[in-house]
């Protein structure tokens, strides 16, 4: 048994490990761990406490995948509900569909009695208000929100450490493999923007025969490369989990134009091996891992691979305008 999570998953992975040790299914264990991350207001990139979009609204995305049945569930641009990963799970369990977004996702959440709640926390609201007063011109403030936002959304370009998502990969005692993701996406994103987290095959993929992969960071890059599915397919062709991830990095080197920033690729194989690579990463990039027999999950550094000439972090809207708690 094994579970891997990115750096933002530290508050949830102990629960996931415990449930796996108790014999729960991989998908049950991953969902339980992710719910804890979604509820943690100190995690600024997932669930409550996540950064808002340009309109000041927190939009959430999530997905789950069962690597044995290949069933998936995903939600995107969801507002007003606390646990998008559980709503994604119920899309998988209760609907013939795989993906719901926006008003449809919220309608389904209400129908199943999902837990509603306020997502915009004071730290995020204060930062957004300061940004609005500073960066938006007087005429646009008067006409808000009926103004062009194409240029404003470029303030969402947030390479930082490639940690704008929480991802969990796990294998249970039955050797079933699953993947789960949850995110609030880029802060100050264009309303309705979806990253890779809810896109099966881009942000996550699981196949119990071979392994699983999930990504954090610039989802625009992994969408263009189909990274998560590619890693699993590379393992299917016979590559080791390490070489499969390296091959996916080479795919990213082919990207021209668009947003090129930071991506962290997390992968496990069916034999319990794993590999985590931070593309254009910094020394702070790390991940969490637990294996059967370990007393507790532990943090490990990700391998850093540069594919851009200048991967230096740039200032971001929320970085400039967040009001820190004293």
**Residues that are catalytic:** 165
Instruction: Report the alpha-carbon distance of residue 4 to residue 290 in Å, rounded.
Output: 7
- Greatest alpha-carbon span in the chain: 62
Is 93 in contact with 87 (CB distance < 8 Å)? no
- C-alpha angle 59-62-66 in degrees, rounded to nearest 5: 170
Instruction: Report the alpha-carbon distance of residue 89 to residue 221 in Å, rounded.
Output: 25
Q: How far apart are the first and last CA of the chain?
A: 41
Alpha-carbon Rg for the chain in angstroms = 19
Q: Cα 123 vs. chain centroid, distance in angstroms? A: 21
SS3 content of the chain, % helix, strand, coil (to 5): 35, 25, 45
Contacts of 309-314 with CB under 8 Å at 24 or more apart are 311/159, 311/261, 311/262, 311/280, 311/281, 311/282, 313/159, 313/160, 313/161, 313/282, 314/157, 314/159
Instruction: Report the alpha-carbon distance of residue 223 to residue 132 in Å, rounded.
Output: 30
What letter does residue 51 receive in the DSSP assignment?
P
- Residues with Cβ within 8 Å of 326's Cβ and at least 6 positions away in sequence, in order, are none
Q: What is the dihedral of CA 269, 18, 109, 127, to 10 degrees?
A: -90
Do the strands 72-78 and 298-301 form a parallel or antiparallel pair, or are they unpaired? unpaired
Q: Cα–Cα distances in Å, from 202 out to 55, 210, 276, 284, 318?
A: 26, 17, 16, 24, 26
- Token pair listed for 143: 């006409």
- Token pair listed for 220: 């625009």
């Amino acid at each position: 048994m094994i579970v891997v999570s990115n750096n933002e998953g530290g508050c949830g992975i102990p629960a996931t490990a415990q449930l796996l040790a108790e014999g729960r299914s991989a998908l049950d264990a991953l969902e339980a761990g992710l719910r804890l991350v979604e509820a943690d207001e100190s995690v600024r990139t997932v669930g409550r406490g996540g950064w808002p979009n340009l309109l000041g609204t927190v939009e959430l995305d999530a997905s789950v995948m069962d690597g044995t049945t290949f069933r998936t569930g995903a939600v995107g641009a969801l507002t007003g509900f606390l646990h998008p990963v559980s709503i994604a799970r119920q899309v998988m369990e209760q609907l013939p569909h795989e993906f719901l977004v926006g008003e449809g996702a919220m309608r389904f959440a209400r129908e199943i009695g999902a837990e509603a709640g306020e997502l915009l926390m004071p730290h995020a609201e204060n930062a957004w208000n300061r940004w609005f007063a500073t960066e938006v011109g007087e005429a646009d403030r008067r006409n808000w929100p009926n103004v062009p936002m194409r240029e404003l959304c470029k303030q969402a370009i947030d390479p930082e450490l490639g940690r704008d998502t929480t991802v969990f990969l796990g294998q249970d005692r039955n050797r079933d493999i699953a993947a789960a993701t949850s995110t609030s996406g880029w802060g100050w994103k264009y309303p309705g923007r979806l990253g890779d987290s809810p896109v099966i095959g881009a942000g996550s993929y699981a196949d119990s025969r071979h392994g699983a992969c999930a990504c954090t960071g610039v989802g625009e890059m992994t969408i263009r490369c189909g990274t998560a599915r590619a890693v699993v397919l590379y393992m299917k062709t016979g590559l080791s989990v390490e070489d499969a991830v390296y091959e996916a990095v080479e795919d990213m080197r082919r990207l021209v134009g668009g947003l090129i920033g930071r991506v962290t690729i997390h992968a496990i194989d069916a034999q319990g091996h794993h590999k985590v690579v931070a593309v254009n990463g910094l020394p702070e990039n790390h991940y969490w891992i637990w294996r059967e027999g370990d007393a507790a999950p532990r943090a490990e550094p990700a391998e850093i691979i540069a594919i851009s000439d200048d991967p230096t972090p740039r200032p971001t809207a929320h970085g400039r305008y967040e009001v820190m708690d004293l």
